[in-house]
Amino acid sequence: MALLGAIEAGGTKFLCAVGEDPAAPRDIQRFPTSASNPAETMAEVIRYFESRRVAAVGVASFGPLDLASGSITNSPKLAWQNYPLGESIATALNVPVAVDTDVNGAALGEAAAGAGRGVRDFVYITVGTGIGGGALVNGKPLHGAMHPEMGHLILRPHPQDSFKGVCPFHGACLEGLASGPAMKERWGQAAELLPDDHLAWEMEAHYLAQACASLACILSPSKILLGGGVMGRTGLLERVHRETIRLLNGYLRPPEIVAPTLPYPALSGALAMARAILEG
Ligand code: ZN
């Protein structure tokens, strides 16, 4: 079986891995994402793969992206704007490269080897420093004209919330209200320091449930996977599930809301993307 390459390109680090099977990315190494010089980061990434002789590479990347060309577009990381991520790897290694969003990558990984196995329609959402979502529709990642940006869904404020939100574009969108930095800004301390019975968690569940209810209405997923650092809070997932059911109010059958199961879903997805290239 051919050796495949996987890259999870993030705002602070690039993770590289190899493997034959999406279930088992191995030899994982991390390289810091240079804020000023993409070529520096990419030189380390290329060096990693040069010694490992992969047949194809999948890249699950931060965005926004132009998926047709595999380039980063108007990223707030200015040095990376318009960076031809896919092309630079393909040229340096002389192998085919597939690029998708980090969250579509994570969804593909969970579909291949995790909580999305055997599920044709599901959404993967990560709640951490940022909020992003990817979707598999009829077994395929949803791209649309650009790609979905589920972290920027516009929400209705919780009745006790006067916080304006931290999103530089929308203020009180999902990411602006419910990301880790939003919680820290609203409450003056990091989310992990807030006790379980703090109002913060009721609000958090309410906002994430609004997103889940909207996504259920738009995409009709049978499952929604909620991952990321903020979802590590015990009981939050169940709370979001209950609140989603309450908001949908019996109109449609609520999707199952579950935790992802893979340690590196985006790397697993990137391996699945590389495998798909070879399978044509
Ligand atoms: Zn926003």
Look up the pTM and report it: 0.96
* Cis peptide, bond prior to residue 64, ω within 30 of zero: yes
Cα-to-centroid distance, 172 and ligand 1 (Å): 7
Cβ atoms of residues 125 and 268 within 8 Å: no
Cα-to-centroid distance, 233 and ligand 1 (Å): 23
Average pLDDT of the chain to the nearest whole number: 97
Cα-to-centroid distance, 19 and ligand 1 (Å): 35
Cβ atoms of residues 254 and 217 within 8 Å: no
Cα-to-centroid distance, 269 and ligand 1 (Å): 25
Cα-to-centroid distance, 130 and ligand 1 (Å): 10
pLDDT band at 280 (very low <50, low <70, confident <90, very high): confident
Cα-to-centroid distance, 72 and ligand 1 (Å): 18
Cα-to-centroid distance, 108 and ligand 1 (Å): 24
At residue 95, the pLDDT reads 98
Cα-to-centroid distance, 150 and ligand 1 (Å): 9
Number of Cα atoms under 13 Å in the Cβ half of residue 268? 21
Q: What are phi and psi of 67, to 5 degrees?
A: -70, -25
Cα-to-centroid distance, 25 and ligand 1 (Å): 32
Nearest to 122 by CA among 220, 245, 249, 239: 220
Cα-to-centroid distance, 174 and ligand 1 (Å): 7
Domains of the chain by start residue, with CATH: 4-102+263-279 (3.30.420.40), 115-258 (3.30.420.40)
Distance of CA 126 to the CA centre of its chain: 5
Cα-to-centroid distance, 91 and ligand 1 (Å): 34
d(CA 163, CA 61): 30
Instruction: Tell how strand 131-137 and strand 122-127 pair up.
Output: antiparallel
CB-count burial class (<10 Å; 0-12, 13-18, 19+) for 221: buried
pLDDT tens digit sequence for 123-137: 999 999 999 999 999
Residues around ligand 1, an ion, CB closer than 5 A? 152, 167, 169-170, 173
- Give the count of beta carbons closer than 10 Å to the beta carbon of residue 229: 14
For residue 92, what is the enclosing H or E element? helix 85-93
Strands (E), the chain: 4-9, 13-19, 26-32, 56-61, 65-66, 71-72, 97-101, 122-127, 131-137, 140-141, 223-227, 256-258
pLDDT tens digit sequence for 210-257: 999 999 999 999 999 999 999 999 999 999 999 999 999 999 999 999
Mean pLDDT of 66-82: 94
Cα-to-centroid distance, 262 and ligand 1 (Å): 27
